[in-house]
Amino acid sequence: MKDYVTGDDLAYEDAINFAMFASADPHWKDAMDAKIQAIQRNDTWELVDPPSNCKIIGVKWIFKTKLKETGEIDKFKARLVAKGYTLEEEIDYKEFFSPVAHLETIRTVVALAATKR
């Protein structure tokens, strides 16, 4: 699996060419730098030494262009995502947790907030 994904009409033959292009192009580099700064500013993660009994999950960049109504490029967006698909169930993990708020919970919280106004 390639370590990049592009959006819209941007298509590149292989990951190496795109990675070289993205890191050299100031628009994509600025988008990647902005994402890294946001990750650091929000304390998204903390760098630690990996435990010896754990498999390290890699990351990949997702690139997308946002377009104006006229079709011109409005914004270059870069996201850094974990390659969780490299893990094998029952080998690398036994269970997983994905926090999702149920609609009823959201309605209750909004109703409580409205009554406190």
**Domain residues of the chain, as ranges?**
4-116
Supply the pTM of this predicted model: 0.57
Is 27 strand, coil or helix? helix
Q: How many CB atoms lie within 10 A of CB 61?
A: 21
Which pLDDT score is estimated for 90? Answer: 56
Please write the tens of the pLDDT for every residue from 4-53.
444 444 444 455 566 666 777 888 889 989 999 999 999 988 888 988 88
Which pLDDT score is estimated for 88? Answer: 66
Q: How many angstroms separate the CA atoms of 103 and 105, rounded? A: 5
Mean pLDDT of 99-107: 87
Q: Directed axis angle between helix 26-41 and helix 15-24, to 10°? A: 80
Tokens of 91: 């080998």
